Amino acid sequence: MTPKQTPIQTEKLLAAIYVRVSTQDQAQHGFSLDAQQDSLINYAKALGYEIFKIYRDEGKSAKDLTHRPEMLQMLKDAEEKKFAAIFVYKLDRFSRSIKDLILTIDQLKKWGIDFISLQDKIETASASGKLMFHIISAFAEFERNIIGDRTTFGMNRKATEGGFITRAPKGYKLVNKELMVDEQQAEEIRQIFKEVIETDFSLSKIARKHDLTTPGLIKLLKNTTYLGKVKFADQESEGKHPAIIDKQLFEQVQNKL
CB atoms within 10 A of CB 3: 5
CA distance 146 to 140: 10
Strand-strand pairing, 235-238 and 49-58: unpaired
What residues are labeled active site? 22
Strand-strand pairing, 13-21 and 85-88: parallel
CA distances from 224 to 65, 139, 164 (A): 42, 40, 12
CA distances from 234 to 194, 216, 230, 231 (A): 27, 20, 10, 6
Strand-strand pairing, 122-123 and 172-175: unpaired
119 φ, ψ (degrees, to nearest 5): -70, -30
- Report the CATH architecture of 13-146: 3-Layer(aba) Sandwich (3.40)
pLDDT at 220: 93
257 residues of the chain, pLDDT tens digit each: 445 554 444 567 999 999 987 755 543 444 577 888 999 999 999 989 999 999 998 876 656 677 788 999 999 999 999 999 999 988 777 776 777 777 888 888 889 998 888 887 777 766 666 676 667 666 656 666 665 555 555 555 555 444 555 678 889 988 887 888 999 999 999 999 999 999 989 999 999 999 999 999 999 999 999 988 887 656 677 778 889 999 999 999 999 88
Domain 172-256: CATH superfamily is Putative Large Serine Recombinase; Chain B, Domain 2 (3.90.1750.20)
pLDDT digit string, tens, across residues 174-221: 888 788 899 999 999 999 999 999 998 999 999 999 999 999 999 999
Nearest to 207 by CA among 197, 220, 226, 190: 220
- The answer for residues whose C-beta is within 8 angstroms of residue 12's C-beta and 6 or more apart is 48, 49, 50
> Which residues in the chain are classed under CATH 3.40.50.1390?
13-146
Strand-strand pairing, 85-88 and 49-58: unpaired
pTM of the model: 0.47
Residue 227 DSSP code: G
> Which residues in the chain are classed under CATH 3.90.1750.20?
172-256
